[in-house]
């Protein structure tokens, strides 16, 4: 008996469109069951974690920027101004990322059949552009001050503000980077890398204060330019990560992990192809499998179903899989 050339099997873990839509809005369920009604929806849980990380880090960075802004006005330090601008930009980037997390909670529609998870990728682009804009503004102010050096006032306050900035940014960076990696959010991870760059930039402001204490008027704008270069370097790294996500790039180790899991499924002769892509902070998969010749349709269906089940439990953050089963040479 022949088998179908393709076997589509979406993972929800339910099969009807209504069940999958309901699974997208479930909040409290029992984990590890194969039924959609009995699983914690990972997209919702990740969205909540992301919003908590953004809210906490926004409060920390807001307080940090406020303290630094007061010292900037009093001291006239362009290096501290550069650092403060980046802190403000970092706080502002929480807005598009937060909006993306909220959109990701919405269930799929007939127009957006995969849901709104890709809004995070758009948010990642906005984050990179905001970082770049703040770096350009800081660089401009540093060059202007280098051409027209000025005296730094309240040098001790500038040093204290630098330490406050470093501490605040590192707290925000740790929170965002850990959460971004845990939930698979490229936008939140880029936001965390931005905060970490600001922490390093804040420490660089200490050099500016030290130079001013020695009477080196050029030290402040030079450090401001160094901070700009540092942020630009991190911006490039964040841009590469965000753009890779937009191009559906995944870690090759995830593909290897998926293939290894599928090869252990009874009834699978060969794994022909595995394609993975991120939809927000969740993975989706499309798989082509070879099954034995002359198996029944029911047997082919069972093999594809078992492969989908094994895959979604073996690959982290994989929430949906479509499995196509075909006979040898099919």
DSSP-derived secondary structure for 121-183: HHHHHHHHHHHHHHHHHHHHHHHHHHHS------HHHHHHHHHHHHHHHHHHHHHHHHHHHHH
Judge whether 17-27+250-326 and 42-246 match in fold: no
Supply φ then ψ for residue 277, to 5 degrees.
-150, 150
- State the pLDDT confidence band at 33, using cuts at 50, 70 and 90: very low
**Containing H/E element for 322?**
strand 318-326
Q: What is the pLDDT of residue 45?
A: 62
Q: What is the pLDDT of residue 272?
A: 95
Distance CA 129, CA 135 (A): 10
The candidate with the shortest Cα–Cα distance to 194, out of 52, 92, 90, 80, is: 90
Q: How far is it between the farthest Cα atoms of the chain? A: 89
Which residues, listed in sequence order, are joined to residue 324 by a DSSP beta bridge? 288
Which residues, listed in sequence order, are joined to residue 277 by a DSSP beta bridge? 284
Q: What is the pLDDT of residue 22?
A: 35
> Higher pLDDT residue, 95 or 44?
95
Region 136-140 average pLDDT? 85
The candidate with the shortest Cα–Cα distance to 194, out of 226, 172, 225, 165, is: 172
Mean pLDDT is lowest, of 5-14, 193-202, 224-233, 239-248, for: 5-14
Q: What percent of the chain has pLDDT over 70?
A: 85
Mean pLDDT is lowest, of 26-40, 55-69, 158-172, 183-197, for: 26-40
Whether 27 shows a pLDDT value over 70: the answer reads no
The candidate with the shortest Cα–Cα distance to 203, out of 138, 152, 158, 252, is: 158
**What is the side-by-side order of every strand in the sheet holding 282-290?**
270-279, 282-290, 318-326
Q: Which two tokens stand for residue 286?
A: 């499309």
> Higher pLDDT residue, 172 or 21?
172
Distance CA 69, CA 323 (A): 56
Whether 1 shows a pLDDT value over 80: the answer reads no
Q: Does domain 17-27+250-326 have CATH number 3.30.70.1350?
A: yes
Q: What is the pLDDT of residue 245?
A: 87
- % helix, strand, coil for the chain, step of 5: 65, 10, 25
Q: What is the pLDDT of residue 308?
A: 94
Q: If you average pLDDT over each of 1-10, 79-88, 288-297, which comes out highest? A: 288-297
Q: What is the pLDDT of residue 163?
A: 93
CA angle (40, 111, 113) in 5-degree steps: 35
Q: What is the pLDDT of residue 322?
A: 93
Distance CA 261, CA 32 (A): 17
Do 182 and 49 form a contact (C-beta atoms < 8 A)?
Answer: yes
Distance CA 39, CA 181 (A): 22
C-alpha distance from residue 58 to each of 50, 101, 159 (Å): 12, 15, 23
Tell me how long the chain is.
330
Domain spans of the chain, in order of start: 17-27+250-326, 42-246
The candidate with the shortest Cα–Cα distance to 234, out of 121, 120, 134, is: 134
pLDDT tens readout for residues 103-135: 888 889 999 998 888 898 898 898 888 888 888
Q: Is 215 left (phi over 0), alpha (psi -120 to 50) or beta?
A: left
Q: Which two tokens stand for residue 318?
A: 């994989």
Q: What is the pLDDT of residue 207?
A: 87
Tell me the pTM. Answer: 0.67
Q: What is the pLDDT of residue 330?
A: 65
Distance CA 167, CA 176 (A): 14
pLDDT tens readout for residues 251-286: 999 999 999 999 999 999 999 999 999 887 788 999
Mean pLDDT is lowest, of 24-38, 66-80, 94-108, 127-141, for: 24-38
Q: Which two tokens stand for residue 273?
A: 């192809």
| The CATH number of the domain covering residues in 42-246 | 1.20.1510.10
Q: What is the pLDDT of residue 285?
A: 95
The candidate with the shortest Cα–Cα distance to 76, out of 231, 207, 164, 208, is: 208
Mean pLDDT is lowest, of 12-26, 153-167, 177-191, 236-250, for: 12-26
Whether 29 shows a pLDDT value over 60: the answer reads no
- Three-state secondary-structure class, residue 186: helix
pLDDT tens readout for residues 189-237: 777 876 777 787 788 888 888 888 888 888 888 988 888 888 788 788 8
- Residues in contact with 70: Cβ distance below 8 Å, sequence separation at least 6, in sequence order: none
């Amino acid at each position: 008996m022949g088998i179908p050339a393709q076997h589509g099997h979406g993972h929800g873990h339910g099969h009807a469109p209504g069940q999958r839509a309901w699974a997208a809005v479930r909040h409290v369920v029992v984990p590890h069951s194969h039924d959609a009604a009995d699983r914690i929806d990972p997209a919702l849980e990740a969205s909540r974690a992301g919003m908590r990380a953004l809210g906490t880090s926004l409060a920390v960075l807001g307080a940090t920027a406020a303290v630094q802004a007061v010292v900037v006005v009093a001291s006239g330090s362009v290096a501290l101004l550069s650092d403060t601008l980046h802190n403000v930009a970092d706080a502002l980037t929480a807005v598009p990322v937060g909006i993306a997390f909220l959109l990701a909670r919405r269930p799929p529609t007939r127009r957006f059949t995969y849901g709104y998870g890709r809004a995070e990728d758009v948010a990642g682009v906005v984050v990179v552009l905001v970082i770049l804009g703040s770096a350009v503004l800081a660089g401009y102010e540093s060059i202007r001050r280098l051409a027209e050096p000025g005296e730094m006032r309240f040098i001790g306050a500038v040093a204290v503000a630098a330490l406050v900035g470093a501490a605040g940014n590192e707290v925000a960076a740790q929170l965002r980077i850990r959460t971004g990696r845990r939930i698979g959010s490229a936008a939140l991870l880029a936001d965390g890398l931005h905060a970490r760059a600001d922490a390093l930039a804040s420490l660089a402001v200490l050099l500016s204060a030290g130079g001013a204490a020695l009477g080196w008027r050029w030290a402040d704008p030079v450090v401001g330019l160094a901070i700009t270069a540092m942020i630009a370097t991190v911006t490039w790294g964040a841009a590469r990560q965000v753009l890779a996500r937009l191009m559906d790039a995944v870690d090759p180790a995830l593909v290897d992990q998926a293939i290894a899991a599928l090869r252990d499924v009874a009834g699978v002769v060969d794994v022909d192809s595995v394609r993975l892509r991120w939809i927000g902070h969740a993975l989706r998969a499309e798989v082509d499998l070879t099954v034995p010749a002359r198996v029944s349709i029911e047997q082919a269906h069972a093999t594809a179903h078992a492969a989908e089940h094994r895959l979604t439990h073996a690959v982290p953050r994989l929430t949906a899989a479509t499995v196509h089963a075909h006979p040898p040479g099919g």
